[in-house]
Structure 1
Amino acid sequence: MVKDSNRKHCNKQNRMSDTEIITILILFHPGDFRCFSPYYKGDACKRLKQLFSCLVSYNCFVELREEVFHELLIWVQVVSDYQ
C-alpha cells in the first residue's frame, strides 16, 4: 500500500484506547445529536474530558474509529443476542 505523504495522520503515541473510542461511539447514539462531528467536538471533548485519559482531535478520532469497527460490530452482535 502506498502512503499519501500529503495527508497528516494522528500521533499514534497519544492515541485513545479502543475501549474509549467504542464508549464514545456508543454514547453518541442515544443522544439528541444528528451528526457525530458536533457531538464529538462539543459534548465529548468538553463534558467527557475528565473521563478519558487522552482525547484526540476530531480528525484523528475519525481515523481511529475505522480501526475499531470490527470490535464494535462484535459488541453489537453480542448485545443483540442477549435481547
Structure 2
Amino acid sequence: MHYVYVIFSETADQYHIGLAKDVQIALWQHNAKANPATAAGKPWVIRFKQGFEKRPAAQSLEMKLKNKDRLGLEEFLNNQN
C-alpha cells in the first residue's frame, strides 16, 4: 500500500503532506528530525492518512493536497471526520 498522510506540528503551527509506504516510520523520521523540512516542528501528529493500492493514485491525491492553501487543506481535513 501507498499512503498519503498529513501531519501537523502545533509547535511550528504548520502542516506537512507526504507519501509513504509506512506512515508510522515516516512519522518517526519527522519526529527524529531526519527530514530537514520538518526538523523544527517536533512533535508531529498524524491528522490524516489514506491508503492506495497503486502509487499513481496516491501521488494524485498528494499533489491535490499540496496545491491547496492552508484554509483549503483545513477544510479538507475537517470534512474527513
Please, what TM-score do these two structures have when normalized by structure 2? 0.34
Structure having the larger proportion of residues in strand:
2
Greater relative contact order (CA < 8 Å, ≥ 6 in sequence): 1
- Which structure has greater helix proportion? 1
Which of these two proteins has the greater Rg computed from alpha carbons? 1
